[in-house]
Structure 1
């Protein structure tokens, strides 16, 4: 800034001339009026002295003003702020960048000045503008957790008024980091907070994810090592503690003669974004509370609010009652665990539990309220969740004047939900094994029925009296076979033909069928996300999943009012980060999701946990078998995916209803050998002549049907009832072109027989017959030149399959 002249007389040469003429006129006037030379001389001398003094004072003021108004030297300021890693900028009243450190310039450039940085996130830009306004108004402002770039770094920003007239803002930018946060917590634990907790009978330590001590309060160091200034960093936290037979915690140095403690584990993963994304790396705050903390002796009036705030922030639910059992206080975690609010907390703890448990909790509170040093727990059922018992901890508390009882309760809703899901998965696994076994045995029966029907039809022509009856038996047998396929799908033991495909293509294939199934009153909407990853699944089975979910949605909508509604099928890309918050049994990874949502009113909460159970249905008798959703569940799980159901409220212009979400893992890599072999464009190889077949089957009726079918097709068949006899045929010099064998047989089963045969005939092809899934069989049996045919099969199917295998082996 340049110095400038003040206005007024004497500020310019013209002003000085006017002032001099005025003085001459005044002296002349005194001479004319008084006619006294002495008086005139004295008057002139006084004016001259006064003018000289005025000139001197004005010169000093002008010099001082020129010094004050000298322009600032920004090079000095730049040298002061230009430190390594310091992101500092200075702006004027017009938000123009006046000066900036080299670190700030390299990070944000010099084209824009705060608070007008070019940011992609609108929230961060608004936060900078708000910080500037507050700094101009209050003198200082601060903002944190700001995203100022494309990376994941979060920033804290501080702005402060400075300079002559406070007409500049000094901006300081600092990146936030978990390491800095951990250091801050360490300083609190080893400093004033740790000492305050020690006076309250609470010892604290900050423990890393690996279980080593990062920081310890003086009270912890004194109890663990006998010296409050001892350095315990890097030592194993568990080495300082011991448990007795009642699982009470003692410091190892004091042994059982010392005070017992209660351990409170406080994970710190929720207070930092980096720790929240990687909870396994987050440290933990370990609080050890004396079993009978004398709060009245140790906690002063100024520290009591701090301790109360600390208790309210703990994830452990804590409440206290007087000796008569009346509640004194309860922290928010306790209120959440019991499903109450602060205003809804009853007078007595017994009012929180079901009627059958009221006596037990009243007796326990009365016993611990006598004032003795004791702690324990009691199993109760809360009124808000009567089906899930919880463990309520009780401890006598001394030092508050009257004896009191401390109640502790962990909010275990997530743990309870996880247990429920694990129990549901175990139940489904057990039922699936039972259903798979029943279906396998039933397939043997159906194979014989269908095979004998085929043989009888060869001897009857259309028009015969028995022809239609045989056809009806065969048709009903095929319906029964479809039922067994549903059981196998539920038990995840059906034969799948997986392909690498895109979900939108599968939905497009069945969209016309869905429109006919839904009718004119139900609107079908289809939405697809971008960049969907391919999945590997059986397209036919996937179509069955879509159709079953659509039919269920149609029936749910039809049960509401006039039967009009909307069904939305959408696909969505699910990233690795999103899967961390999904089902606990779902491993992290990339998934493609299929969401089927309807406006049918939703699934009743009482039956939500049973909808995937086999033979469970809410439909009227004769209108549903209860295998639809169980089959869907089996197909999805066998395909490596997951399915979840939930009720959703009104949104996106749609009413309330149910939403079924199917997650299928994204397939990475080329098609498998089985998929290449199943290529429909590959020409089929045919067997032109007869062959010698060794047939091994323990079921007499299945063996008889298969033997007659193969003999009729021109093959020479040797049939044996078990694996030992089949192996003996080969060992005794029998010559065969193919072995056709059942998988599950008493004594030596099919795979064991096949391995023994391969030692004698390494190149002999083997065709397995089974009612279980081919994929399961191949995972359990590692044999080259192995083929598979699923039961039940017809006479034509077994003959054609044997011919194809012999043709492939001879090629």
Structure 2
């Protein structure tokens, strides 16, 4: 407050100068007049004038100080007192400085933006808009919502020192476009259309007229005041043998009409309009008649056409005979990526250089020829990799407007096509991976079985013993790779349970700390009130470990000491799905697992391939247990998909990567029966031998299995396929057990087993396969006495399994 006080009192130097000037002027008057009375009068006049000036200066200074001391917020309150939007002003400390009545009614005065009573996703969008407001001067939150409603928010930075944010909150409400259009057709717009030669009517999908302009009624009935609501639209028109449409009232002498059909749909609707229930605006014009009321000034009707076509969800633009764009609606500008830019002079300015000539020729041809339409494939600037189909139609009777361009915003469609293509590719790769794993398991079964048989003849200390053990160890490592392939192809056996994600993270956290080391900081956070999920806990642990190892390697690749790995569980409601990934994921509640690192990130050309098997950017020997084979993320993908979830990767090179796993919340049904636990094999031992029918089409696997069972004391009969095995049983041979492969040429294992059961209903069957047991049980559909042995297996495993099955069969 010291500065204002100094401003009210004159400085010492200025007062001395004024005093000297006054004394000098008095001396001059004395010397000129030599009269004391004149000097006194002159001095008194100067003092009076000085006193008046001083008083006025003090009053002005006081007024200015009062005006600048404290802002008059009553003026601001009056300025923001709007009935259509809630207004609030906050300072840099986040305090609510001022708000209008509508804001108080919606949110109360106890809350200041961005901290409002809305859901978590809305709070994040509000905070982001506020940060953008302070940083850029403006910010937007397209959607915030709670149980009371939905709003959109615009934020603007204001004040002399940019110390305030102005929040404008507008309610999002649905609008009835038909109801909004009806009074316009019944008013000035309808009369303007009639003067321009256009008859307008709103027609329901069933063909009944909902509203018609006075010009339409005049042409259709001869009376402008005629009520046409509920009448059949087509009954007022006639069509001759040349497909020309005229007014039925005018008969054959009537002029041919051009009909324009414009569906009335909300362009901001979240779903595509259903044209089976959407009314339409139909415009009828006499062929060859301009829109200027006969004057030839066709541009007079362009604003009206723009008002009619502007709200439509279809991308439409009008071009004159010289190829210049007259106007384009918002949907058209959105489709070409020019929504916030000025309208170009020519439509050829919207396409790449190579397509300018063909588009210009097409517009010229349709503008000068008869009224017709067609499509042309063009590539838009900024989206040259995705050709789009542009509809071109020559129109008549619209004055300067000679060509109608139609373009649908295909951004969402293109994105969905890419996702479908990626999903299809992943499914095809998964089927291939499953087939490779199955065939590879046959080879590994033969190798492991042969190693076991050789180890029976070699003891520790023999020269060949260590070599055989090395072969066996490498074969087991190869078997683990096939299990990863089966996980990716979603053909592994899962044991799902209802569980909480934070519990799984807690169980594996001690292992994660050892995996990432001491230099990398591990941060774990959990949301409250998370929904339970149904998944295999051991497989979920593998998902977490693989993602964490991937993040650790990305951090270490930066070559810097330290880094941070974040594991978080988040609540993700169906509303959040609708606002973000509504086109990909079903709109249900999810519990999300987020694993984020501060590593080197993933290049844009690699982000779409990271879940493919054997795709890796790591050097051999790195990448944890998978050793840089590229199966870590593909395994994660398969486990998540087989659990009914979704996984997404978001990355920016140099700034880290975030993997988000969405698992649907499990809602237990009150009357649903608990899933039966899988029955354990009988723990009885079997030592009485038995007769075994071994059916296997792979010679290597069949030879190993036959030798293993023979050494175990069983009498083994072999068959190379299902037909041969069935013939042996039909020949009268008796067996205690059938050991069969599942996938075989001609007749597979399950088909053979069903035929055998017709002859021997109680004969047990042991299936061998490289596919998942759960998948096979769903496909085999054989009641009772069916057992499963996964490939690859060892000599001891097949012997023990056969003994356990025979013991269970004998009780």
User: What is the TM-score of this pair, normalised by structure 1?
Assistant: 0.68
Cα shift at 1:414: 0.2
- Give yes or no for contact 2:178–2:264 (8 Å, CA) kept in 1: no
Q: Counterpart of 1:625 in 2: which secondary structure? A: coil
Match of 2:719 in 1: 720
Q: Which residue of 2 aligns with 1:407?
A: 405
User: 1:563 and 1:183, CA in 2 relative to 1: closer, same or farther beyond 3 A?
Assistant: same
Deviation track 1:554-580 (CA, whole Å, cap 9, x = no partner) reads 233334462533222222233344444
Q: Distance in 2 between matches of 1:518 and 1:663?
A: 24
Per the alignment, do residues 265 and 774 of structure 1 end up closer, same or farther by CA in structure 2, a change over 3 Å counting?
farther
Q: Deviations over 1:656-675 (max 9, x none)?
A: 53322212233344898876
1:469 is displaced (CA, Å) by 0.7
The verdict on how the C-alpha distance between 1:249 and 1:550 changes in structure 2, with shifts beyond 3 A counting, is farther
Residues 258, 396 of structure 2: 8 Å contact kept: no
Give the Cα–Cα distance (whole angstroms) in 2 for the partners of residues 121 and 690 of structure 1. 81
Distance 2:363 2:108 in 1: 55
Measured on the aligned residues, the alpha-carbon RMSD in Å equals 4.6
- Aligned to 1:595, the other structure's residue is in SS state strand
Residue pair 1:267, 1:283 contacting (<8 A) in 2 also: no
Q: Deviations over 1:28-60 (max 9, x none)?
A: xxxxxxxxxxxxxxxxxxxxxxxxxxxxxxxxx
| CA deviation vs aligned residue, 1:668-704 (integer Å, no higher than 9, x gap) | 448988761268xx98454454333222111111111
CA distance 1:122–1:285, change in 2 (3 Å): farther
DSSP 3-state at the match of 1:609: coil
2:238–2:245 contact (8 Å) kept in structure 1: yes
The alpha-carbon distance between structure 1 residues 737 and 584, as it changes in their structure 2 partners (threshold 3 A), is farther
The partner residue of 1:454 within 435, 452, 455 is 452
Kindly tell me: are residues 461 and 288 of structure 1, through their superposed partners in 2, closer, same or farther at Cα, counting changes over 3 Å?
A: farther
Shift of residue 258, structure 1, vs aligned partner: 6.2
601-610 or 488-497, larger mean C-alpha shift: 601-610
Partner secondary structure for residue 524 of structure 1: strand
**In the aligned structure 2, how far is the partner of 1:329 from the partner of 1:177?**
28
Matches within 5 A, 1:47-66: none
- In structure 2, relative to structure 1, the CA distance for the partners of 1:375 and 1:467 (3 Å cut) is same
Alignment of 1:282-681 (within 5 A): 284-288=278-282, 294-297=290-293, 305=303, 307-340=305-338, 343=341, 345-370=343-368, 372-398=370-396, 402=400, 404-560=402-558, 562=560, 564-581=562-579, 582-600=581-599, 602-620=601-619, 623=622, 624-647=628-651, 656-669=655-668, 676-677=677-678
Asked if the contact 2:319–2:401 (Cα under 8 Å) also holds between the matched residues in 1, the reply is no
Q: Match for residue 803 of structure 1?
A: 803
Asked whether the 8 Å contact 2:261–2:280 carries over to 1, the reply is yes
| Pairs within 5 Å for 1:4-19 | none
Local SS of the residue matching 1:605 = coil
Paired residue for 1:781?
Answer: 780
- 8 Å contact from structure 1 (residues 396, 403) kept in 2: no
CA-CA distance at 1:493 after TM superposition: 2.0
CA distance in 2, matches of 1:771, 1:251: 73
State the distance in 2 between where 1:349 and 1:561 align.
51
Shift of 1:424: 1.2
Asked whether the 8 Å contact 2:590–2:662 carries over to 1, the reply is: yes
Alignment of 1:759-778 (within 5 A): 759-778=758-777
Could you say what secondary structure the match of 2:566 adopts? strand
- Mapped to 2, the partners of 1:281 and 1:577 lie a distance apart of 27
Question: Could you say what secondary structure the match of 1:646 adopts?
Answer: strand
Distance apart, 1:527 and its partner CA: 1.9
Maintained 8 Å contact 1:557/1:601: yes
The verdict on how the C-alpha distance between 1:731 and 1:701 changes in structure 2, with shifts beyond 3 A counting, is: same
- 1:590–1:665 contact (8 Å) kept in structure 2: yes
> How much does 1:379 deviate?
0.3
> Deviations for 1:301-346, whole angstroms, at most 9, x for unmatched residues?
9986564344333332333344343434333332222223554654
Residue aligning to 1:692: 691
Match of 1:162 in 2: none
Contact kept, 8 Å, 2:185 with 2:213, in 1: the verdict is no
Structure 2 distance, partners of 1:746, 1:117, is 74
CA contact (8 A) 1:644 1:660 kept: yes
Is residue 200–residue 216 contact of structure 2 (8 Å, CA) maintained in 1? no
Q: Is the 8 A contact 1:453 1:473 kept in 2?
A: yes
Q: Secondary structure at the match of 2:310?
A: helix
Distance 2:237 2:600 in 1: 55
Once residues 197 and 609 of structure 1 are traced to their aligned partners in structure 2, the CA distance between those partners, rounded to angstroms, is 55
> What do the CA deviations read for 1:217-256 (whole angstroms, capped 9, x no partner)?
3169979x967744449x9x9999999xxxx99899999x
Deviations 1:731-766 (A, max 9, x none): 333333322211111111111111112222223222
Give, in angstroms, the shift of residue 279 of structure 1. Answer: 8.3
Alignment of 1:150-299 (within 5 A): 181=176, 184-185=179-180, 188=183, 191-192=186-187, 195=190, 199=194, 201=198, 203=200, 205=202, 216-218=210-212, 229-232=227-230, 259=257, 261=259, 263-268=261-266, 270=268, 284-288=278-282, 294-297=290-293
Q: Which moved more, 1:636-645 or 1:685-694?
A: 685-694
Q: TM-score, normalised by structure 2?
A: 0.68
- Cα deviation 1:418-450 (Å, max 9, x = unaligned): 111111111122222222222211111111011
Deviations 1:464-517 (A, max 9, x none): 100111111111111221222222222222233333332222222221222222
> In 2, are the aligned partners of 1:202 and 1:287 still within 8 Å (CA)?
no
Q: Is the 8 A contact 2:682 2:807 kept in 1?
A: no
Cα distance, 1:475–1:206 mapped onto 2, change above 3 Å: farther
Instruction: Name the CA shift for 1:232/1:732 in 2 (closer, same or farther; >3 Å).
Output: farther
SS of 2:789's equivalent in the other structure is strand
Could you list the runs of 5+ residues in structure 2 that have no partner in the other structure?
1-99, 114-142, 152-170, 623-627
Alpha carbons of structure 1 residues 707 and 279: separation in structure 2 relative to 1, 3 Å: farther
Q: Is the 8 A contact 1:461 1:467 kept in 2?
A: yes
SS at 1:507 equivalent: helix
Cα gap change, 1:425 to 1:515, in 2 (>3 Å): same
**Which segment drifts farther, 185-194 or 742-751?**
185-194
Say if 2:327 and 2:343, in contact at 8 Å, map to a contact too: no
The equivalent of 2:743 in structure 1 is 744
Task: Measure the CA separation in 2 of the matches of 1:463 and 1:673.
Answer: 54
Deviation at 1:461, TM superposition (A): 0.9
- Equivalent in the alignment of 2:701: 702
Distance 1:488 1:232, change over 3 A: farther
Hey, what's the Cα distance between the residues in 2 that align with 1:153 and 1:420? 31
What number of residue pairs does the alignment pair up? 638
Change (3 A) 1:596 1:310: farther
Offset, 1:391: 0.9
- Give the C-alpha shift of residue 378 in structure 1: 0.7
* Gap change, CA 1:634 and 1:296, over 3 Å in 2: farther
Write the distance in 1 (CA, Å) between the matches of 2:322 and 2:501.
Answer: 64
Alignment CA distance shift 1:347-1:189 (3 Å): closer
What secondary structure does 2:292 align onto?
A: helix
Contact 2:191/2:214 (<8 A) preserved: no
Contact 1:744 1:750 in 2 (8 A): yes
